[in-house]
Amino acid sequence: MLVWSRPGRIVIWAVFALLFGVLFLAPLAVILLSSLANQWNGVLPSGLTTEHYSDVVQGAAWQAVRASLVTGFLASALALISGTWAALALRIQDATLARVLGVLFFIPSAVPSVSVGLGLLVAFSHPPLLLNGTVAIVMVAHFVLISAFTFGNVSAGLARLSPDFEQVASSLGARPAYRLWHVTLPLLTPYLVAAFGLSFALSMGELGATVMVYPPGWVTLPVSIFSLTDRGDVFAGAALTMVLVAVTLILLLGLERVTGRQTRS
Amino acid sequence: MSVPAFTGSNVMDVDAAKIRGAGSNVHFDKVSVAYGAHVVLHPLTLDIAPGEILAMIGPSGSGKTTALRAVAGFVRPASGRIRIGATDVTDLPPYERGLGMVVQNYALFPHMRVEDNVAFGLRAQGADKALIAERVKDSLATVGMSGFAERYPRELSGGQQQRVAIARALAVRPRVLLLDEPLSALDAQIRRNMVEEIARLHRDLPGLTILYVTHDQTEALTLADKIAIMRDGRVSSHGPTAELYRRPPNRFTAEFLGRANLLPVTVAESAAGPKGFAKARLGDAVLAGAARGEKPGDKTLLCIRPQHLSLTGDAEHTNRIVGTLKEVHWQGELTHLVLDVDGTPVRVSATRLPLSLPERGSAMPLFFTPGDTSLVPEDVCG
């Protein structure tokens, strides 16, 4: 919507700045200040220090970063493969079946993550599917929670893909596998990268299910942050939160550059 | 960015000679297509001879694209068989049919350079590198795009992209080239040029069989050896292009293929022979028209094209009707007149007008030769 009057534009920008500042910037600013605070008894911290960052780096922070990165990468990759596969498979199914299965894919995203964690704990605590206490159950939990988003992103990309590309490829003699690899997937790349980025970000911030199932030795960043703040070490928790934000941001910016290049080509 | 023409005939002879291959005939044998209970193509029996361009034209939803997609293998016939050459392709997947296809929006792969687009089909079929390089070079030369091999599709104009799409289809030496509204996305000027260039391409590749689907009668008239006019999922008429235009077998064909004046007449006297002229009455006028076996007393339509009506009579223009001048539209090269003849609007396209044109509402005689007319029955699907 175009606003033509100058006062109207000022009002709109003021409302935007207020909402953005209060809802988005203020919480992050408080966490950032906390991570650097020496003491915080008044409105603002009484002194600044980098001591909390030194503490978390010397502590288990890097192991948590590693656990989160590995979990995020593997779960997102798995979700990307299965979500893409599902989206491609549903495209050639009967419309009603595709709609029903599509809805089923989204169910895990509507269930509280704690319930997903609890469900997995119950389901995989007995032979023959004994995953409780292993890293695998963390991967499974993250996969269940993020796969709906990859499926949704890839499905949206496929819906926008003109069937002409694949049909022309077929008419020129390309068999289905060749067509998929050389035409469909390259054309879907921006959507695949976006799906991976979203899944990765979700996985990096996932706590509810992880806290239910994580084994000793595989403590992710959100679990570490939760433990620190639960013990009252708010400043260290804030420092670790900033590490989480920085790592996720760097990875997403990198992916965004890849997506941008793909879109331009 | 300038759009180079297809290469001239000297260069074309060299490149086209390498591309030239034996085209195959296409045979539709009672092919029908249905989506559930909805029949979109009624049993269609049709032949396209090797090296022939058949244009399928018709309004939206007439079944022309469905027929093309059935040949391509993208819709499965509910009944009937399709043969390309000696091969029954009805049950073959698209990638085993040996076709080339060009679609309205070009569908060039945006992540590949022009040369990779053209090489795509050959690579998909596992051709060796030397052959691919040679075919890419020849195909691009044939469509005048040799200098654009390393560009991406986004760096080309619409006309250039369509040339690359044609080169890509030609590179696999298709048995049949399927063109599905290939010029619809181009603006009018480029479309006119491309029609002429596709005609030139076919002159240089006379063995290439082409099924050309369009809703544009000018493209069909310019390019096609034969035309099939589709209506409501059926072939309304099918025959050599000039013949269909000059002697339309029914009202729909007469009106769809070019503009036609259709005057309701009553046959007064049959033709002497099968290709003779019958005499038909329109009010008080007795007109001679090319007959197709009408008998005295038959009610039929006399078809005369707007450009065949003359404002002045002579020894050849022996048919004469009188109408009331209603409208005059000057369009530069042509002036269109609309007259009322016994309650039927009659259009005249004149390149030159008399010095003194009667005023609107005045009576005005029109003249035409019997050889330019045709007696046309009311709609009968042929």
B158-204 pLDDT, tens per residue? 889 999 999 999 899 898 999 999 888 888 888 888 888 888 888 88
Say how many domains are in chain A.
2
Residue A96 has pLDDT above 70, yes or no: yes
Of how many residues is chain B composed? 382
Taking an 8 Å cut-off on Cβ atoms, the answer to whether B120 and A186 are in contact is no
Is A173's CB within 8 Å of B169's CB? no
pLDDT at residue number B21: 53
Domain of A61 in residue numbering reads as 51-264
Q: Which residues of B touch A189 (CB under 8 A)?
A: 111
Within 8 A of B103 by CB-CB distance, chain A residues are 164, 167-168
Distance from CA of A182 to the nearest CA of B (A): 9
Residue A110 has a pLDDT of 83
pLDDT for position A62 = 79
Query: Are A165 and B121 within 8 A, CB to CB?
Result: no
CA distance A91 to chain B (A): 15
Q: Is residue A89 part of a domain?
A: yes
Residues A8 and A132 in one domain: no
CATH of the domain at A253: 1.10.3720.10
The closest alpha carbon to B134, from B108, B173, B176, B171, belongs to B171
Chain B, 132 to 171: residues with Cβ < 8 Å from chain A are 152, 154, 168-169
The answer to whether position A41 is within a domain reads no
Q: What is the 3-state secondary structure (H, E, C) of chain B?
A: CCCCCCCCHHHHHHHHHHHCCCCCCEEEEEEEEEECCEEEEEEEEEEECCCCEEEEECCCCCCHHHHHHHHHCCCCCCEEEEEECCEECCCCCHHHCCEEEEECCCCCCCCCCHHHHHHHHHHHCCCCHHHHHHHHHHHHHHCCCHHHCCCCHHHCCHHHHHHHHHHHHHHCCCCEEEEECCCCCCCHHHHHHHHHHHHHHHHHCCCCEEEEEECCHHHHHHHCCEEEEEECCEEEEEEEHHHHHHCCCCHHHHHHCCCCEEEEEEEEECCCCCCCEEEEEECCEEEEEECCCCCCCCEEEEEECHHHCECCCCCCCCEEEEEEEEEEEEECCEEEEEEEECCEEEEEEECCCCCCCCCCCCEEEEEECHHHEEEECCCCCC
State whether A18 and A135 are in the same domain: no
> Is B121 close to A162, i.e. CB distance below 8 A?
no
Considering the domain boundaries, does residue A43 fall inside one? no
Considering the domain boundaries, does residue A13 fall inside one?
yes
Q: Assess B107–A contact: CB distance below 8 Å, yes or no.
A: yes
- State pLDDT tens for residues A6-61: 888 999 999 999 999 888 888 888 888 888 887 777 777 777 788 878 877 777 67
Q: What is the pLDDT of residue B274?
A: 65
Q: Do A102 and A68 belong to one domain?
A: yes
User: Are both A27 and A60 inside the same structural domain?
Assistant: no
Shared domain for A145 and A223, answered yes or no, is yes
Judgement on whether residues A56 and A28 belong to the same structural domain of the protein? no
Low-confidence ranges of chain B (pLDDT < 70): 1-22, 273-274, 355, 379-382
Q: Do A173 and B74 count as a contact with CB atoms less than 8 A apart?
A: no
Residues in chain A: 265
Question: Does A123 share its domain with A10?
Answer: no
- B95 contacts A168? CB cut-off 8 A: no
Q: CB-based contact (8 Å) between B101 and chain A?
A: yes
Same domain? For A77 and A154 the reply is: yes
Give residue-wise pLDDT tens across range A128-178: 788 888 899 999 999 999 998 899 999 999 999 999 999 999 999 999 999
Q: In this complex, is the C-beta atom of B99 within 8 Å of any C-beta atom belonging to chain A?
A: yes
**Closest C-alpha among A56, A236, A80 to residue A147:** A80
Can you tell me whether residue A130 is helix, strand or coil? strand
Question: Is residue A197 within 8 Å of A255, Cβ to Cβ?
Answer: yes
Proportion of chain A above pLDDT 90, given as a percent: 36
Same domain for A64 and A164: yes
ipTM for the assembly: 0.81
How open is the CA angle B146-B150-B155, to the nearest 5 degrees? 95
The verdict on A185 and A102 lying in the same domain is: yes
> How many Å is the maximal CA-CA distance in chain A?
73
Same-domain check for residues A3 and A81? no
Residues of B with Cβ-Cβ distance to A165 under 8 angstroms: 107, 109
The Cα–Cα gap between A120 and A26 comes to 36
Q: A178 to chain B nearest CA, in Å?
A: 7
